[in-house]
Every structure is written in structure tokens, then in C-alpha cells.
Amino acid sequence: MKILNLLVGGPIENWPQELKENTIEGPWIGVDRGSLRLLERGITPIVAIGDYDSMGTQEFQTVKERVKDIRRAIPEKDETDTELAVTVALNEFETDRLDIYGATGGRLDHFLANLFLVLKDRYRSSAPKIRFIDRANTITFYLPGEYEILKEPDKKYLAFIPLTPINHLTLVDEKYRLGHAKVLYPISYASNEFVGEKGHFQFDSGVMCVIQSKDVK
Amino acid sequence: MKILNLLVGGPIENWPQELKENTIEGPWIGVDRGSLRLLERGITPIVAIGDYDSMGTQEFQTVKERVKDIRRAIPEKDETDTELAVTVALNEFETDRLDIYGATGGRLDHFLANLFLVLKDRYRSSAPKIRFIDRANTITFYLPGEYEILKEPDKKYLAFIPLTPINHLTLVDEKYRLGHAKVLYPISYASNEFVGEKGHFQFDSGVMCVIQSKDVK
């Protein structure tokens, strides 16, 4: 499986341990301050996306000197830096999975823009490829169908979060089950758990977000 | 205006400065570990909500000894601890505003359950009373109508985040404007800004979340 990683500029304290310890295999795309943080850790992103707005001129200069492929999102345009990065990743690198780090812990308008990105027409069919990962959460997305998912060893909780109206949501064998539920508005069915190592669920329409998480102090 | 504060158990590092410095006027309701954190800071919550699950037995004992009014949410029930706290706050204390702290920075299934709480039938009419506050964000909610909002002095960014389909969304005088937009899915119009100290917006249907935010490192 071809995996591409993307680092956005959110607080470092929210990074998962593997990222702090620099043990995630590349390639990487950097977004805004994310490019600089990759460079500081000895990783040269294959593409850096961002503008002067979010970085100082000197910082931007550093990125320009060391990264071959620099793209700038236009702040006034109806596309965020992260969206441009996702577009580049999906269209130019044909990745099987896109793992996005640094998208949580700071501004919540940014986080929600990222979370809701998969609902846009141009990204929706790629939703299953996209994951957001931080120290406490792994966020994944599903289109209508029947699924078997695996418990992550370090996570305790499992949540099903319809981001749109969803029909016939069935949680087959989780700790708290649902049968053919009709969901009208976004809701987070939080604090569910796997029974064993696998879980099964299905639904007929809409977009489902699934989060595995653990407590942090 | 009668203000009631609620402290949930999310990471302390995400608290706003006023909470860290203990300068927010009470009364307080504590949820889960939030009750303990209030007690540690010399604040006795008027109600403590939670169960053994989220706190150690000793910690729960401490809360039991010092708080008169203890309520326990039932984990299996279709109501989270925070929801029970919001129900108690709105129904029993007739507050004009409910400021919720500690709801961000940890588990995102929790955060999203809190964010989407206002969409539920039993809370929707109270949505305008509810705010979520952390070190970088103030989250508010609006029902259909015309509004004038004020810039918070320490915040730079303004975001409009329809949580449901919304009709005729008009951003009248913000940096980036919209005219009678029809929104079909949740979206975060992030990184907008006030022009001056006030902003005006209006919409015809659905529930709008508005976030004022600032960058954090």
C-alpha cells in the first residue's frame, strides 16, 4: 500500500508519539508551518504548501531554499492550504492512503474545515483514503457499505459519527449496538468499544466518520 | 445576565488563561474529572456529575465528600455526562448563558458529541445560550435570524460553520462575504475576519456555529 503523509501546522503537543520520535516512513507533504517542522526534523517534504501569511518571511525563506516543489494557496480563494495539499496528494501522487498529522489541538475552525473536507464533492469519493491522526485519536471515513474494522492496540474507545444524514446504520457486534437507525443530523455516538479485536457495521447512505481514541491527561 | 460555568475533563493545557488563573466567577458545575479539578482549585461545584468509570475510586470519594449534589450518568444510557450536565444547568438553574470549559484537546469523539449536542431536539432551542471556550477558541451557536456579533479583543479569526443544511446564508460585512448561499452539508468557512469591531450575518434555516479563534504555537 502506498502511503503519503501530510503535516499541517497544529500544536506539536498533539502529535502522536511516532511523529515525535520521527519513526513514520515518508514521503511527506508539508502544509504551512508543517513544512518547517519537517525540515527541523531532517525530513525534506516532496511538496511544501503555504504562504507568507502563516510563516515569517525568514521561515518561508528557509522552506524555499530547501524544498524543490513549493505551492502557494491563495488565501482569498475558496480552498484552504490543507485542501490544496489533499488535492495535490490525491491527484499527483495516486496514493492509497493519506495520513494527516498536525490537524488538531489549535484552532477549531481549522480542525472542522479538515474534518468536513471529505463531504465536498471533489473529495467525497476519496474519503476512505484519508485519515487524521493525533496523540489520542485516529479518524477515518466510510462511504455506504458493510465494513469490518480492526481495533488499534493502544486505543480503548470507538465512536461512530455520521457527518450527514445516514440511513440504516447498524452496529453489529460492538459494545453498544444499533439496528437500522435513521440519523437526521450530525451526531457523535461516542465511547463505544470493540468486543474483541474486530467490529462490524453497515449503513446505506451518507458519510460516516469513525474515531478510535484513548484518554489523555 | 445569569452565567453558569461547566468544567468537563479535557486536558488542562487547552484551558483559557482566565481558567488557569482562576478568575472566572462561579457558580460551577463539574463533570467527571472536572469536579476534581475545580476542588483542587478551591472551587466547590454546585453539582458534580460523573461516575466511577472516569475517575479512580479515591478521586470519586473526594468529590463525594465535598460536593453536596452528586449525579451519576448511566454509561449505557443514551445521554453523555456532558449532556446530563447541560440538562441540569438549563432545567434546574435557568441560566442565561452556559459556558463550557475543558471540552477540547483530548478525545475528539467527546468534542464532537459536545459540538453536535445543540442539534438534538431537546437542546436545540437552547443552542444560543451555550458556549464552548478554550485557549484558542470561543464557540457559539445561532438559530435562524439576523445577527450582529462583536469581535473578541484577543481573537483574530472568525469562522462560520453551518452544522446542518442552511439556506440564504449572508455574511454582510466580514472580510470574505457571502450572499444568500445555500449550504447542503456541514462546512467550516474558516479564517474569515471582522472588518472593524462588529460583524453582521443572517440565515433562514438550520443551526450555525460561529467560532472566534487565534493561533497557538
Q: Among A45-59, A109-123, A189-203, B148-162, which is the least confidently predicted range?
A: A45-59
Q: Cell 525563506: give the residue.
A: A61
User: Which chain B residues are closer than 8 Å to A107 by Cβ?
Assistant: 136-137, 157, 190, 211, 213-216
- Residue B75 has a pLDDT of 63
Residues A5-27, mean pLDDT to the nearest whole number = 95
Residue B178 at interface with chain A, using a CB cutoff of 8 Å: no
Residues B170-187, mean pLDDT to the nearest whole number = 96
- Interchain proximity A188–B120, CB inside 8 Å: no
H or E, element range at A139: strand A137-142
- Residue A21 has a pLDDT of 95
| Residue B103 near residue B172, CB atoms below 8 Å | no
Mention every residue, 6+ apart, whose C-beta is less than 8 A from residue B64: B70
- Interchain proximity A112–B139, CB inside 8 Å: no
User: Each residue of B87-120: pLDDT tens digit?
Assistant: 999 999 989 999 999 999 999 999 999 999 999 9
User: Which chain A residues are closer than 8 Å to B137 by Cβ?
Assistant: 107-109
User: Each residue of B2-16: pLDDT tens digit?
Assistant: 999 999 999 999 999
- Residue A161 has a pLDDT of 98
Return the exposure string of A114-133: e unless at least 16 CB atoms fall within 10 Å of the residue's CB, then b. Answer: bbbbbbeeebbebbbbbbbb
Q: Which residue has the higher pLDDT, B217 or A37?
A: A37
User: Each residue of B112-171: pLDDT tens digit?
Assistant: 999 999 999 999 999 999 999 999 999 999 999 999 999 999 999 999 999 999 999 999
- Interchain proximity B109–A191, CB inside 8 Å: yes
Touching B: A residues 68-87, CB under 8 Å? 75-76, 80
DSSP string covering B28-50 = EEEETHHHHHHHHTT---SEEE-
Q: Does residue B56 have a pLDDT over 70?
A: yes
- Interchain proximity A161–B112, CB inside 8 Å: yes
Distance from CA of A188 to the nearest CA of B (A): 5
Residue A105 at interface with chain B, using a CB cutoff of 8 Å: yes
Q: Nearest CB to B213: which of A109, A209, A216?
A: A109
Touching B: A residues 131-150, CB under 8 Å? 134, 136-137, 139
- Residue A167 has a pLDDT of 95
- Residue A50 has a pLDDT of 84
DSSP string covering B59-81 = HHHHHHHH-S-EE---TTSS--H
User: Each residue of A135-154: pLDDT tens digit?
Assistant: 999 999 999 999 999 999 99
- Residue A54 has a pLDDT of 67
Q: Among A206-215, B7-16, B75-84, B179-188, which is the least confidently predicted range?
A: B75-84
- Residue B126 has a pLDDT of 97
Give the domains, in start order, of chain A with CATH numbers.
1-135 (3.40.50.10240), 136-217 (3.40.50.10240)
Return the exposure string of A55-91: e unless at least 16 CB atoms fall within 10 Å of the residue's CB, then b. Answer: beeebbebbeeebeebbebeeeeeebbbbbbbbbbbe
| Residue A174 near residue A195, CB atoms below 8 Å | yes
- Residue B85 CA to residue B91 CA, distance in Å, equals 10
Q: How far apart are the first and last CA of chain B?
A: 34
- Residue B189 has a pLDDT of 95
- Residue A58 has a pLDDT of 84
Residue B216 at interface with chain A, using a CB cutoff of 8 Å: yes
Distance from CA of A88 to the nearest CA of B (A): 21
User: Each residue of A152-195: pLDDT tens digit?
Assistant: 999 999 999 999 999 999 999 999 999 999 999 999 999 999 99
Q: How far apart are the first and last CA of chain A?
A: 34
- Residue A76 has a pLDDT of 63
Q: Does residue A57 have a pLDDT over 90?
A: no
- Residue B164 CA to residue B205 CA, distance in Å, equals 9
